[in-house]
Structure 1
Amino acid sequence: MSSNSESPAHQPASAEGQSIAPVWNLPNVLTMLRIALVPVFVVLLWQDSTATALAALAVFLIAAATDKLDGTIARRRGIVTNFGKIADPFADKLLTGAAMVVLSVLGVMPWWATILILIREIGITVLRFVMVRRSVIAASNGGKLKTVLQIVFLSMMMLPAVDLVGSPLGDWWETTAYVIMLLATAVTVVTGLDYCWRAWRITRDQKQ
């Protein structure tokens, strides 16, 4: 679930109100559902047919939609939890990361972009777990933009992988998807550096 962009730069892991809500609430169940849909999506995308590729895209979009839904429900009901703040970005990274790897294996997405993005995502995920005892760092607007851009270009790349390659529409579609991929990669790297900077500041301030 996405945290409010107007949240403080960092919040103590034991902040008041964050541990009161039960872990197994609706937003967290939606997050776990998103994780459970990942293997279904991978199996469908891996199949060499138009029908399964389109089905994979549908599963991908449904899983991505739960990210917005669980965040909205959590904020409206006031049941944001520290578990959700950690599990939600993990679910996002698992979904998009799986899509990138499969698309790279299929020759649709360049491996250099997949590797660069995954290094950032895995590194920040590890840093989140390291920082959770000190503070839970709220998602930035850049981080949310990064996720949206990744979902857009991945969704677009799933279609040329089906039957658009070689057609005029396919050429235009592929070029647009590639440009968005470049933008998403840049935003992913920049937001990763920003997260590292905020984590360093929190650690420094707590040592003083």
Structure 2
Amino acid sequence: MTQPEVEPVSPRPSNLNLPNVLTTLRIVLVPFFGAALLVDGGDSGTWRTVAWVIFFVAMATDKIDGDIARARNLVTDFGKIADPIADKAITGMAFIGLSIVGEVWWWVTILVLLREWSVTLLRLSVLKRVVIAAADLGKLKTTVQGLALGLLVLPLLDPDLPSWLETPGEVLFYVAQVLLAVAVALTLWSGAEFYRGVWRQRHELRGSGKS
């Protein structure tokens, strides 16, 4: 009698892998980014540029580590938890730092951080019971938010800029403000969609008797 073939169980990937190293790097960069942004109360053009480089590297690794993890089947529980924390830490530091230097209103920062961290904590708390994939709206929010914050971190209004950069700097600053307004709207919209999705899935689980 032919025995049924048993498919081999793929070993679980180690937490010590490239995507997780990049995620950890993002977390480590947060205090350095904040310190560079706030040198001289945010008035140092040189250090604002350094802060922008750190922010750019952090946002780039956010994209790279996810792509590598999915392509090489290196998704781990550590990555699922650390990745959103790293994302919110670097953008949260940008919002707080820019509010300190007076380029983002504090009410905007508080509103965005409340949404971001409440969604992140809820996502982590229901991780094993409810599967919530990143929606396209959330990805668009992240992209617009990153563009807005990245532009605002740059010393666009630095009085020491060469005269030929003053007008482009002002234009980019107002473009960044428009992008920030769009990002805030998308943040609230995607947050509402997220909570609606969680409620719907939990309601379905209760109906099936699995909760």
Shared fold (TM-score, shorter chain, > 0.5)? yes
Mapping of 1:65-84 within 5 angstroms? Answer: 65-84=60-79
Q: Which residue of 2 aligns with 1:188?
A: 187
Out of 25, 28, 31, which is 1:36 matched to? 28
Q: What does 1:52-201 align with in structure 2 at a 5 Å threshold?
A: 52-160=47-155, 163=158, 167-201=166-200
> Structure 2 unaligned runs (5+)?
1-8
1:122-163 alpha-carbon deviations (Å, 9 max, x no partner):
110121122123124111111111111111111111224661
Q: CA deviation at 1:201?
A: 1.4
- Secondary structure of 2:158's aligned partner: helix
Alpha-carbon separation, structure 1, partners of 2:203 and 2:183:
30
Cα distance in 2, alignment partners of residues 36 and 162 from structure 1: 28
- TM-score, length-scaled by structure 2: 0.84
Whole-angstrom CA distance in 1 between matches of 2:135 and 2:66: 14
Contact 1:45 1:56 in 2 (8 A): yes
Q: Which has the higher contact order (CA 8 A, sep 6+)?
A: 1
> TM-score, structure 1 length as denominator?
0.85
Instruction: For 1:30, give the aligned amino acid.
Output: L
Residues 73-82 or 33-42, more deviating: 73-82
Please say which of residues 29-38 and 169-178 is displaced more in the overlay. 169-178
Give the drift of 1:75: 1.5
Contact 1:53 1:162 in 2 (8 A): no
The residue identity in structure 1 corresponding to 2:27 is I
Structure 2 CA distance for partners of 1:97 and 1:148, relative to 1, 3 Å: same
Q: Is the 8 A contact 1:26 1:70 kept in 2?
A: yes
Structure 1 ranges of 4+ moved more than 6 A: none
Range with greater deviation from structure 2 (102-111 or 152-161): 152-161
Equivalenced residues, count: 192
